[in-house]
Structure 1
């Protein structure tokens, strides 16, 4: 049996070929470092998650530096979040991209609610999903 790097925990797929997240949305406190960064500097976690996922999609390997926390994505997210509290709008799209990459069940409404109501938890959950794939290589 070969390891599915996008599902290293071997979670079952439903009839639509989708699975659950590897970690529950409220298990973010199990990864307290990422949770704290996501709470106080969500732009950093957003940018890092985005660069890590893009690298995995393009190269099939982990990002050599663990992701880029301070880049254009961080700046745009930070400006939107600081000026209008709307950084979560970018996270909705990023969460959808992660769900599609990992074949995780859900929809845009769920992405919106998680990103709007509990942004640090959503960012941490996504970071943990990416980390699980990275560790499988």
Structure 2
């Protein structure tokens, strides 16, 4: 028996977005980030918020990532504004350890998108380059959200 056409999605099926929208080459170790760590100019609004109030950017990125991961489609609220992750991050940052939460989230995002790297790089990026790494993560999640066919 031969088939001439791929099966179509039926109601109730979760249609996954593209986790490598820019079709970056991937090998056994994974692929590179879709946007460089210093590529904040690709999302200037996100970068400014990440510089001024990293807890807001962290909370939004984490909520959007978790929504994609658990529900299989983009968060209709685009991460909200000031959610519980934002509040916790703000408190932990006040104590000097917000970068630890960012490091863990960065590892989760790298895993979802099969991005090269490891804990040491996540730690350094989170500690030394907070606004840039938050912007980089936001862009990665946004690219997948856009692959669902709408502006998010």
Alignment TM-score, normalising by the size of structure 1: 0.93
Say yes or no: does 1:108 pair with 2:122.
no
Deviation at 1:85, TM superposition (A): 2.2
The aligned residue for residue 98 of structure 1 is: 109
Structure 2 unaligned residues grouped into runs of 5+ = 1-15
CA distance in 2, matches of 1:59, 1:42: 25
Q: Which deviations, in whole Å up to 9, do the C-alpha atoms of 1:50-72 show, x marking residues without a partner? A: 00000001121110011123121
In the other structure, the counterpart of 1:23 is 35
Select the residue among 50, 55, 69 that pairs with 2:67. Answer: 55
CA gap 1:4/1:69 in 2 versus in 1, 3 angstroms = closer
Structure 1 runs (4+) deviating above 2 angstroms are none
2:55 and 2:89 in contact (8 A); partners too: yes
Which structure carries more helix by proportion?
A: 1
Distance in 2 (CA, whole Å) between partners of 1:10 and 1:134 is: 15
Equivalent residue for 2:9? Answer: none
The match for 2:26 among 13, 17, 24 is 13
Shift of 1:4: 6.3
Gap runs ≥5 in structure 1: none
CA contact (8 A) 1:4 1:10 kept: no
1:39 aligns with 2:56: no
- Across the aligned residues of Structure 1 and Structure 2, the Cα RMSD in angstroms comes to 1.3
- CA deviations over 1:73-95 (Å, ceiling 9, x no partner): 1111001112x221111000000
